[in-house]
Structure 1
Amino acid sequence: MTAETKSTTYRKGKIHDISLDLLHRDVDQPRKHFDESELDALKKSIEDKGLLYPVLFRVDENGNNILVSGERRLRAFRSLGKETIPAMRIDSERYDEVALIDNIQRVDLSPVDESEAVFNLQSKYGHTQEQIGNLIGKAQNTVADILGLMKLSPEIREDARHRTELSRVALLKVARIKRPTVQRKAYDALVASLGIPKKEIKRPRLSVTKKAITSTNNTLKCIKSIDIEALGDDRDVVVSKLQELLQEIQNKLGSIGG
């Protein structure tokens, strides 16, 4: 069958039952990670209610049917042993925009998948953050945060892609760290904290003795950093405070003898 025949067979906007074997994965598919529990839930939904939305595909220059959106639905159909799936052809030059929008509207992409997909769109079409926001229904500052995750190293992005517990907010804090080694340490600490209840990772309370030592050390550092001669008009005020501090220290030391 020629490419032209395939194109006329699958009319744009019409739903066809297409063999699963005739639908090919797009290498630019925005979703890289597929949660197994979500797939199980989708399979149950399909078994109970059928497929509510057809998958979307395009026909490339060689007449191949390339899946634009609906890989989760396609995987669920394969797992259920089905041979065909309802599919609708789209003729959009910017099919990757359609794929991203559809994925975001169906089930949230992982923060990393979403960041990479938005970055690829921006690089390919020169979209502004505001234009991307209009496409995916998000505010410009949210788009900026999404793109901010691209500052994560490739190794961190690949690991974070599979960790559904990691939020965009948490990853963004790591992404803002510029030094690669420090960024990696911060990410490892974030991952390590995932399995520890918050009450167990709180900083331990200091004893009365440790608090006193810490306060004394901080006071000493502060006093040593003061340059009396460089204070100008405020010199007398600072000297008065130092004398007051000295008197308080003498009182404390005097109470020891008592």
Structure 2
Amino acid sequence: MGNYELGQVYDLELSTLKPNPHQPRTVFQDTEIRELANSIDEKGLLQPILVKELEDGQIIIVSGERRFRAHQLLERETIPAWFTTGDPEELALVENLVREDLSAMETAEALKKLADRFGLKTNDDIGKVIGKAPSTVSEILSLNDLSENIRNKIRGDKKFALRELKKIASQNTPKAQEKLFKAYEAKIETESLKKATRARLTGEALHKKKVQSIRDYFTKMSADDKILELSSLREELSNLKDGIEIILNNLIELNSKFDASKVEEASSKPKKKKK
């Protein structure tokens, strides 16, 4: 393995490292790299990258390309790295899949590549390699049935949930998939706007919003539902009142006993004779 030993950490020059051509992560978000760079700048690199030296002397990144890019952004000259042996593609695929560091679409494509390259015939075989149930593997692989347009949109974006994407993938035609996907995108956008609105509401505005929500809730209820709801609320308040009264009575009783003991203590003390 040339001048390098396994198990040793080396500070390697960034200019000598080559990205892994079989890296399962195909999209790197600028914001993620910037956030990682800020973290490394503040706390240092917590985990060295994993590299392998090829027969021609080239050193390729097996795992840790985001950390590598963050160091480039920080204009660092070197980065700590471990050396490994074995197939770089298999190592990169398995590590990323086990760490769940990929988007749903990247995971689906990586699983398919893993199965094709290493002759894994069944979902059970794939599951044993990455530590997932065959049913989960089946769900993930189904995303490869999505239309090319949808695959391109969701690749590299973790906001798209597997449970929703598999419903879209189950549609019989690309047109049906596109229709359901647009509805899903609209739902995500609406939820995002609601979260942003809630985040901006504070103090009096938040109080008014809560009061209005309660009013809207009762407006939509039928008369019978309102009676049931109010009856339940009245019962809860009554129970709360009873509980408070019990606590107050207990406190009064304890206080009376305390006062009585004080009086008894005072009366038992011998009185001083007047001179």
> What TM-score, normalized by structure 1, do the two folds share?
0.68
1:172-216 superposed Cα distances (whole Å, 9 cap, x missing partner): 11111121222222222222332124999xxxxxxxxxxxxxxxx
Is the CA contact (8 Å cut-off) linking 2:102 and 2:156 kept in structure 1? Answer: no
C-alpha separation in 2, matches of 1:199 and 1:91: 48
| CA drift at 1:39 | 2.4
2:114 matched to which residue of 1? 121
Counterpart of 1:120, as a letter, is K
Residue identity matched to 1:49? K
CA 106–84 in structure 1, closer or farther in 2 if over 3 Å, else same: farther
- 1:205-247 deviation digits (Å, cap 9, x = unpaired): xxxxxxxxxxxxxxxxxxxxxxxxxxxxxxxxxxxxxxxxxxx
Selected match of 2:90 from 85, 90, 97: 97
Q: CA 1:21 to 1:192, structure 2 compared with 1: closer, same or farther past 3 Å?
A: same
Name the count of aligned residue pairs.
193
CA distance in 2, matches of 1:162, 1:60: 28
**15, 25, 29: which one aligns with 1:31:** 25
Would you say the 8 A contact 1:57–1:68 is kept in 2?
yes
- SS state of the match for residue 10, structure 2? strand
Match 1:40 to one of 34, 37, 62: 34
**Paired-residue identity, %:** 38
- Does residue 159 of structure 1 match 2:185? no
Give distance in 2, aligned partners of 1:179 and 1:81.
48
Task: Name which of structure 1's ranges 84-93 and 134-143 shifts more when overlaid on structure 2.
Answer: 134-143
Is contact 1:55–1:67 with CA below 8 Å preserved after alignment?
yes
User: Partners in 1 of 2:98 and 2:137 — Cα distance?
Assistant: 16
What does residue 12 of structure 1 align with? 6
Q: What per-residue deviation string (whole Å, max 9, x for no partner) do you get for residues 122-148 of structure 1?
A: 001112322322332222211111111
Provide the alpha-carbon RMSD of the alignment: 2.2
Amino acid at match of 2:147: S
CA distance in 2, matches of 1:121, 1:145: 16
8 A Cα contact 1:133 1:140, kept in partner = yes
Instruction: Read off the aligned partner of 1:193 and give its amino acid letter.
Output: K
Gap runs ≥5 in structure 2:
195-275
Once residues 137 and 169 of structure 1 are traced to their aligned partners in structure 2, the CA distance between those partners, rounded to angstroms, is 19
- Give me the whole-angstrom Cα distance separating, in 1, the residues matched to 2:156 and 2:101: 14
Distance 1:99 1:22 in 2: 19
Question: Could you say which structure has the larger radius of gyration?
Answer: 2
